[in-house]
Amino acid sequence: MRTLLLLALSTIALAQDQKDSIIVTGVYQPVQLDEADRDVNVIELDTIRKLLSNTLFDFLRLDPELDVQSRGVNGIQTDISIHGGNFGQTLVLLDGIRINDVQTGHFDLNIPIPPDSVGRLEILKGAGSAIYGSDAVGGVINVITAVPESNELHLRAAVGNFGTNQESATLTTVWQDLTEQLSFSRDFSTGFMDDRDYRNLSLASISHLKTWLGATDVTLAYNDRPYGANQFYGPYDSWERTRTWFASLRQSLGKNTDASFAFRRNTDLFVLLRDDPAVYTNHHYTEAYQAALRRHNRIRQNMTISYGGEAFRDEIDSNNLGHHQRNYGAVYTALDMRALKRYSFTIGAREEIYHGGGRQFNPTASAGAWLNSHWKLRASASRAFRLPSYTDLYYSDPANLGNPYLKPETAWGYDAAAEWNHGERIKGQFGVFMNRERNGIDYVRSSPTAIWMATNFDHLNFTGATASLKFRAAKTQWIDLSYTALHGAQDLLNGEQSKYAFDYPNHNASAFWQAVLPKGFVFRTRVGAIKRYGLDPYALWDLYAAYRHGRWSPFVQFTNLTSTQYQEIPGVAMPGLAAIAGMDFKLAF
């Protein structure tokens, strides 16, 4: 039993040994991770790793190339930027299907499924519009659901300070060619300060069926999260409630063709003053439809062509933003070539076409070369774009004003890296990246008392470097050291103040240690230090521990052990020491 446990835990370190890991993000067809020419990080969420976490954002914080900006504990509203791109420039996928919100990028990470339904996270760093279209300027986060392997009941409950109360349940069944996963999670807190309470409820059904036609996947999910939004959007004791309905169907048509269809509905009720809703209240309703057909063919032994098309429709109905609708489609093609098991090259392009005549053409090229069995070089160049959100275009409140004449953002992203892999015990990487943006969208104002106005910038450039070292300190202990440096340059008009674009981290470092100790004890501790542009640096220390004893696993989790006072979003205070203790139960049948 202990041997099996150690084998399962061998994937706890971030990509410590992923030679055989197959990725689907950032590539036109699935490939092994070590064959990818793009910067892709894979985070496997096995049973033990989920035990040593509280939310999916715990894993995302382990990568300092990602800037995780929360407005409260447990990710109740969290933004993520990659390589300097703002939160709206990060595309979020669920099993390859986009779930970005067309109203505002602040809701892009309202992932509707419970955390226990997630099997892995794949993160593409850098421009991805040539594959995925709008929003993939800084990068892409693909949340991939877990595939059940046995009949199992999983229960989890925990309590903590700030009135935290958590419950979750997952039932998985496997019957011949059909698997079903039903999951539920609830996270409640009275808040660490006034008007910072929240409730997060998720329900999901994920079905997988194999037939003569191919694999069929059906996902149904619902998420409801009301929360106190004190200081979230300015000096107001606000309140907000978002609800999301999501449905998707994916169908394989033989070995080389896949079709998919998805629907997402999101509602947002926003109250500027929680104690006096009559002063200012907004109701927003958005719906998004998408369909895709993708195919790849091997035309020679080491050459594959990929091609396909997608269609989208989104609309909003709002008492503040009005009623608007967009229809657009896209076609893409790419050629992937391999030679001598050492060299690889991919070139591709995607054409986005909008109702009314608008177009976006996004090419990409990437290459990789193994110098020997330990060293690999890779590089890429890609163009990306982002359509303005409906909030960017039409929103207005006492502190912010949209702009219906905004142009789409466009950018060229470049990256290069040297990767060193010395067997299973040690792995390192050093890379550089650049993002050259035009018509960037941000809110600006001329003075601290002026209103924020949505504006296009002519130039916004980011240049950065990243380094990481991962090694196995002992048979069941792992250490990960990572650092990212970032520099930005922006053309401001007449010295205006920028609201979002220049809230980036100049320096972001992370160090964590994970261990499986005798008699079933497991630990992970992380120290992260960050220096944001124009602000003082701060460091956060987290600790997770659990004890596995048969079906039962008690656990404790401590975040911000030193009670550091800090803000990830300017003006939004974050909690001090947060502690959670609970029990995890699994029953196989």
Alpha helices in 183-326 (DSSP H): none
As a dihedral over the C-alpha atoms of residue 444, residue 450, residue 452, residue 454, rounded to 10 degrees, the angle is -60
Per-residue pLDDT of the chain (589 residues; tens, 9 = 90+): 333 333 333 333 333 344 457 889 999 988 888 889 999 999 988 877 888 888 888 889 889 999 998 887 787 889 999 999 888 999 999 999 999 999 999 998 899 999 999 999 999 999 999 999 999 999 999 999 998 989 999 999 999 999 999 999 999 999 989 999 999 999 999 999 999 999 999 999 999 999 888 999 999 999 999 999 999 988 899 999 999 999 999 999 998 999 999 999 999 999 999 999 999 999 999 999 999 999 999 998 889 999 999 999 999 999 999 999 999 999 999 999 998 889 999 999 999 999 877 899 999 999 999 999 899 999 999 999 999 999 999 999 888 899 999 999 999 999 999 999 887 789 999 999 999 999 999 999 988 888 999 999 888 899 999 999 999 888 789 999 999 999 998 766 566 788 888 889 999 999 999 998 888 899 999 999 999 988 899 999 999 999 998 899 999 999 999 999 999 888 899 999 999 999 999 999 9
- Residue 164 pairs with which residues in a beta bridge? 160
CB-count exposure of residue 46 (10 Å: 0-12, 13-18, 19+):
middle
Question: What CATH number does residue 89 fall under?
Answer: 2.40.170.20
pTM for the predicted model, two decimal places: 0.93
Decide: 487 and 463 in contact? Cβ < 8 Å: yes
Decide: 385 and 353 in contact? Cβ < 8 Å: no
How many angstroms from the chain centroid is the CA of residue 20?
23
CB-count exposure of residue 566 (10 Å: 0-12, 13-18, 19+):
middle
Decide: 25 and 492 in contact? Cβ < 8 Å: no
| Residue 68, domain extent | 2-588
Query: 147-181: b or e for each residue (b if 16 or more CB lie within 10 Å)?
Result: ebeeebebebebebebebbbebbbebebeeeebbb
Decide: 411 and 439 in contact? Cβ < 8 Å: no
- DSSP state, residue 96: T
As a dihedral over the C-alpha atoms of residue 9, residue 60, residue 474, residue 429, rounded to 10 degrees, the angle is 120
Query: 82-106: b or e for each residue (b if 16 or more CB lie within 10 Å)?
Result: bbbbbbbbbbbbbbbbbbbbbbbbb
Integer CA distances (angstroms), 453 to 236, 347, 442, 450, in order:
18, 39, 8, 9
**First-last CA distance in the chain:** 17
CA atoms of 459 and 438, how far apart (whole Å): 5
Q: How many domains would you assign to the chain?
A: 1
